[in-house]
Structures are given as structure tokens and as C-alpha cells.
Amino acid sequence: MIYNLTYRQASIVKRQSSVVRKCLTSHVSRLTIFFFISTFLVFHSASAQDSLFKISITIKGDFENFTVDNLGNYFLLDKQNQLKKVAANGDSVGVFNNVRQYGKLYYIDATNPLKILLYYKDYNTIVVLDRFLNLLNVIDLRKAGIFQVRAIAQSYDNNVWVFDELESKLKRIGDDGSVIFESTDLRMVFDSTPQPVRIVDRDNFVYLYDPAQGFFVFDYYGGLKNKLPFLQLRDVQVIEKIIMGRRGNKLTMYETGSLNLREYDLPGEFKGADKIKINSNAIYALKEDGIKCYLIK
């Protein structure tokens, strides 16, 4: 049987098909992440010959911190406060070592591979770099009247989220330091206001993480959508609506909007890691001798 659709009907079908594909893609992505991490943790607890994973690359060095962007590039901070970018294959890409002007680097955000954010907490200053670690911009939060901040993050519209602790407000600021958006005073909303150490902008929500109180989940207009009491987590991440973090020698995973909460014992080689970062197909660990990347075989 052949159906002749009008232009309007065809457009509706096309839009519906697009929505279905997006939903299926998102669902498959979440399942892939759960499968990847579950498989990793289960099989790494077994004998070496049973492992489904291999060390893809080891970058040796005495590193203070690191992060990885969604293209697999490494951003490595050494003990001398020098930031180095290394490509996924191990090739050096760039170096930023302006350590005297801004002091100790507190946080690196590589959410946007073309716009790297460096936060220097002692000077309330955000330094913006390009993909080769060349200087693009400097945002002095003090000029915007913001004097106490621990958490910043890249925002959905390529601006910057900050949490102003003195005013207890979530704010979004532009490249010129101007305040584009600010939430209501959260002291008027909560008995105990958040003191976030991490902000994540993901899947149309902003996640504030306070180790003493858990996650505060807001929409882009500052409306509280959820509060999740997952306490004292380290290495907090949100990927495809899956919240992850580790507490002691265990990894906690929670799929938002569900009852799907899981906790795994970390394999022995990860128990001494200073930091762990998880992507959809790799797990990175900062150890005393450097950084190791584990991939599925």
C-alpha cells in the first residue's frame, strides 16, 4: 500500500522521526556508559587474562592535576604550575606557564576544546585560552563585584557559570565580566545554602555539588529541579544524565530521573589514584608516576 503525504504531513513525520532518533541515541549513550563502566569494574577485578581493557597510553610525569576534553586531549598541570596540552596520541600541542602573574591554578575546564578556562582562585581571575593554549581573554571577577568563588564552569551559551558565595547566587557572566544572569539569593530558599566546589552544565541543567549537602540541580533560569544527597564524593562528573563520583574505594553512579543507583568497588590499581576521570569509552587515572588511559579492547 502506498501513501501520498502532503508537505505538511511529511514535515510532521520528519520532525517526529528526528525526536525518536534523538531519544534513542540518548538512551543508547546512557546504556553504553553503564555497560562500559560496569564491564571495566567487573573484569578488572578478575585475573589479568580476563580483562577486556588495555592501557592505551601512559604519560609519565609528576603532575598536580589533569583533565581530558571530549576529543581525548590531555591538559596536564605539573608541580611547577605549568599547564601542558598533549594530544590523544601523546604529541605535545602547547604550553601555558604564566605562573607568576596569576598564582596557583585552582581549576581547569576543557568542556569546550576551543575555549579552555583556567581559574585562579587566589586572584578571582579566569584566564581563557584557545586550543593551542594561547591567551584569548582574562576575566577579573572582582570588577564584576564578585569576590569569593570556588566553583566555575563553561556554560551552554559559551559564557561562564560562577557561584558567588558572598551573595549566595548562581551567576552567568560574559567574556567582558558582565553579569548576564543571576539566580535569586539561595539563602532565601534553603536553610543551609550550598557551598559548591564543582559546577557542571549538562543536558539543559546546571549541577552544583556541595560535598556536605550533595547535588543541587537547577534549570537555566535558576529554578531548583532536584536535590540529591550524595555526600563526600570526589571526581564528580555528569555524562548523559549519569552522575558519577567516588567515595573512598567505591564508584557511585546514578541515572537522573530514575531509581538506578549503583555502587562499585574500584579495582586495586585505582585505589591509590589521586584523580580519576571517565569518558564514554575510556577511564583516566592520575598516579604518582603519571597518567594512564584505559580503553576497551
CA dihedral for 206, 210, 215, 217, sign (positive or negative): negative
Query: Of all helices (H) and strands (E), which one includes residue 263?
Result: strand 261-265
Q: In what order do the strands lie in the sheet with 169-173?
A: 152-154, 160-164, 169-173, 179-182
> Which residues are bridge partners to 292 per DSSP?
58, 285
Q: What percent of the chain has pLDDT over 70?
A: 81
Alpha-carbon dihedral angle through residues 208, 211, 213, 216, given to the nearest 10 degrees: 10
pLDDT for the residue numbered 54: 74
245 has a pLDDT exceeding 60:
yes
Could you read off the pLDDT of 228-243 as tens digits, one per residue? 999 999 999 998 889 9
And the C-alpha cell for 117?
578556562
Query: What pTM was computed for the model?
Result: 0.84
Taking residues 88-110, what's their average pLDDT? Answer: 91
One DSSP character per residue, 169-187 reads: EEEEE-TTS-EEEE---GG
User: What is the residue-averaged pLDDT of the chain?
Assistant: 84
CA distance 103 to 168: 26
253 has a pLDDT exceeding 60:
yes
Amino acid at 98: N
